[in-house]
Structure 1
Amino acid sequence: MNYDFTIIVPVYNELGNLNRLEQLLNAYFQKASRQTCAILIDDGSSDGSTALIREISNRNEHIYSIIFSENSGKGAALKAGFEAVKSPLVGYMDADLQTHPEDFEKLFPFTKEYQLVTGWRKDRKDTGIKKISSLIGNGIRGLLIQDQIHDSGCPLKVIDSHYAKQIPMFSGLQRFIPAMILLQQGKIKEVPIPHYPRLEGVSKYSFKNRFLGPLIDCFGYIWMKKTYIRYNIKEKKLY
């Protein structure tokens, strides 16, 4: 089947959320404005998520799966998903269901003009510590990266697949997707979306990987920005 839009869902130890994720995806497929599928990417889960992902993929026509042999990180899961998609647009969301697939519809109206349309969780439904660490991390990242994004880590995005496939692989990739689109001279747009409380499972993030990790990764991005190779081919004749 030819799809217009593919949703990438990285999964790491989210067993309690997967059945509800399946229900929300199937409900969205029925009313989506574009022909849509999803790819669940298991990042080496150890809680039984892997087996359930296989079952969900086998029993649903529009849900596919990629299974990692070991935990490689969210950036690796996204990169694997970007490389696998064949649709002109690719999006992603987290399996914790603090964002819902139906809210992709809020982003679609801007995809003709912008190569990345990303959600902005203005009203966060997180714990106080999580809100503060995210606020500090976003502030420092914004100061160093200067991509003019309020909520770079929002796990609801729609990207032109050509641009997504050009994003290089490195740890912490998900924090720099807007900046990587800008490096390719693409245009980005933020759109406010709802944010929902986590009902099952636990967050995989702490102060260390919300603040210290991103701070170190920012310096890696600054180096990449200075050395990034960009070119446009006017014409070619091969073989």
Structure 2
Amino acid sequence: MSAPRIDTAPQLSVVVPVFNERDNVAPLVHEITAALRGRTDFEIVYVDDHSRDDTLQVLQALKAEVPELRVIHHVTQSGQSTAVRNGVKAARGTWIATLDGDGQNDPADIPKLLDKRDSAGADEGLKLFAGWRVNRQDSGSKRWASRWANAIRSRMLRDDTPDTGCGIKLFERAAFLELPYFDHMHRYLPALMQRAGWKTVSVPVNHRSRSTGVSKYNNLNRALVGISDLRGVAWLIKRGKVTAVRELS
């Protein structure tokens, strides 16, 4: 049964970037609604990064049965970070939850992140709750590459985050939109939030095998791009400055 469409701004926006994920769209959308209906007011913002299959048509058809669903379409392929950012810009919620569109993140973990946020309510400086895949369901080579990348990143950026590449995160929309934007920035959100003066925490979450479709990345292109990105983020952190301000009465 679908929920009635609500025109008021929701408390939470779930942003999901997708590219060529037509078979994963409907199952994931229904899992999100199952996890959140009755828990909080929410919307789902899918950002189609100019898919070459019929992902966009599947999403458009789903809107008729899922009133919380909104669909944003890139007229040219622009990458995951741009899709996440455009989804956050279009979102109406004060807080944002992100999920990868391949179904490997479990929407049932979103309430866990919300509970973690609510339990830390007195700490207004805590702006990001990052998923931590403690039981990765990827190939051995992919898990090895991820451990290697995380170790190098942690050494260079000192962001105290064991799994910055996990797609499921919860963060404050306003804080995110203040961060410097660049391609692949979604992989460095904890470090960027900390650079801005905010605190972050990692939360263990579920991770699932991909049931359909193929990965859009390989270990080599991740590594080559990651080296350049790490140097850039390290430079940003070195050059960053946070200054407390107060207005005189």
Equivalent of residue 162 in structure 2, options 150, 164, 186: 150
Give the 4+ runs in structure 1 shifted more than 6 A: none
CA distance in structure 1 between the partners assigned to 2:246 and 2:180 by the alignment: 23
Segments of structure 2 that go 5 or more residues without pairing to the other structure are 1-7
Equivalent of residue 74 in structure 1, options 76, 80, 94: 80
Aligned-pair CA distance for 1:136: 1.0
Contact 1:10–1:95 (CA<8 Å) still a contact in 2?
Answer: yes
State the AA in 2 paired with 1:76: T
Q: Deviations along 1:33-58, whole A, 9 cap, x unmatched? A: 22111100001110111221222234
Residue 180 of structure 1 aligns with which residue?
Answer: 192
Equivalent of residue 225 in structure 2, options 213, 223, 237: 213
TM-score, L = length of structure 2: 0.89
CA distance 1:232–1:123, change in 2 (3 Å):
same
Aligned-pair CA distance for 1:232: 4.5
- SS of aligned partner of 2:43: strand
Q: Deviations along 1:17-68, whole A, 9 cap, x unmatched? A: 112112212212324x221111000011101112212222344210111100
Segments of structure 1 that go 5 or more residues without pairing to the other structure are none
The alignment's C-alpha RMSD in Å is 1.7
**Identity of paired residues, percent?**
28
Equivalent of residue 85 in structure 1, options 77, 85, 91: 91
Aligned-pair CA distance for 1:220: 0.7
Spell out the pairing of 1:186-201 with structure 2 (5 A cutoff). 186-201=198-213
CA distance 1:58–1:165, change in 2 (3 Å):
farther
Residue 23 of structure 1 aligns with which residue?
Answer: 30
Aligned-pair CA distance for 1:184: 1.3
CA distance 1:228–1:55, change in 2 (3 Å):
farther
Aligned-pair CA distance for 1:194: 0.9
Aligned-pair CA distance for 1:110: 2.6
